[in-house]
Amino acid sequence: MIFEEQVPVDVWGTNTRKHRFALMWRGLSYTGKTHYEAILPISGAAKLERYCQKKNILFISKSHFAVRSTGYRREFFSKSKPFIGKLYICAYCGRLISADSLTVDHIYPVAAVTGSLRLQKKLAKKGYSSVNDVRNLVAACPRCNRKKGASTSAFWTLKAKIGRNYSLWMLRKALRLAILIGLIFYIYTLLPLH
C-alpha cells in the first residue's frame, strides 16, 4: 500500500452554507457557522481545493509545510551571511539594514502558501522543506515588507530572488558611481577654466 500524506484542511466562507452537503460528502465535518475541517489524504485535499475554487469558497490547508514556524528568523540568520559586520541588504530596495531592525520576509508569503495546495506542490517540487525553507527567506527593511504585504505577484518574487544577491547591488552602486564621475569630468571639460 502506498502511504499518502494526510493534511489537515480548513474551509470557510459565507457561502459554505449553500454547499454544506457537498462539503460533508467530501469528508469535512461541520465545526460551527461557516467553518468546516478535516484531515484528508493529499489527493483528496487537492480535489477539495479545486471544488472550493470553482464555488468561490475559501480553502485553507494547514499542513506542516504551510505553517509559519517559530524558528524561521533564527534559521535565516544561521544560513545567511551579512553583507558586512551586522549589516544586511534589503532584497527589495538595496538599503543597508542592521540585523536587529530587518524583517525576515517569506518570498512566497505564508498566507498564500497556506491557502494554495498548488503553491505547496510547486515549492515541494523545488525541494523546499517547507514555506520556512531558507530559500524562501530574504532580508527586507520594514518599509518594503509592509509594501509587499501578502502579494504573490511575480514582480515581488523576482525582485526578491535577484535582490538577495549582494554582488548585484554592489555592481549597481559601482555603475552609478562611474556614471557620476564620468559626468563630473565631462562638465569639468566644458568649463572655460583651462
Touching Zn ion, residues 120-149 (CB under 5 A): 141, 144
Contact 115, 60 (CB under 8 A): yes
92 makes contact with Zn ion (CB under 5 A): yes
Residue with cell 464555488: 55
Residue ranges in 72-165 assigned as alpha helix (H) = 72-79, 110-114, 117-125, 142-148, 154-163
Nearer to Zn ion, 45 or 144 (CB): 144
Q: Which segments within 13-136 are labelled E, that is strand? A: 29-32, 35-41, 58-61, 87-89, 96-98, 103-106
> Is residue 119 within the footprint of Zn ion (CB under 5 A)?
no
* Under rule CB under 5 A, residue 104 binds Zn ion: no
Find residue 12's DSSP bridge partners. 35, 58
Quote the least distance from Cβ 176 to Zn ion, whole Å.
17
Report, in Å, the least distance between residue 166 CB and Zn ion: 14
56: left (phi over 0), alpha (psi -120 to 50) or beta: left
11 or 90: whose CB is closer to Zn ion? 90
C-beta of 117 vs 139, nearer to Zn ion: 139
**Looking at 93, 99, 111, 134, which residue binds Zn ion (CB under 5 A)?**
93
Among 38, 57, 90, 137, binds Zn ion (CB under 5 A): 90
Residues engaged in binding Zn ion (CB under 5 A) = 90, 92-93, 141, 144
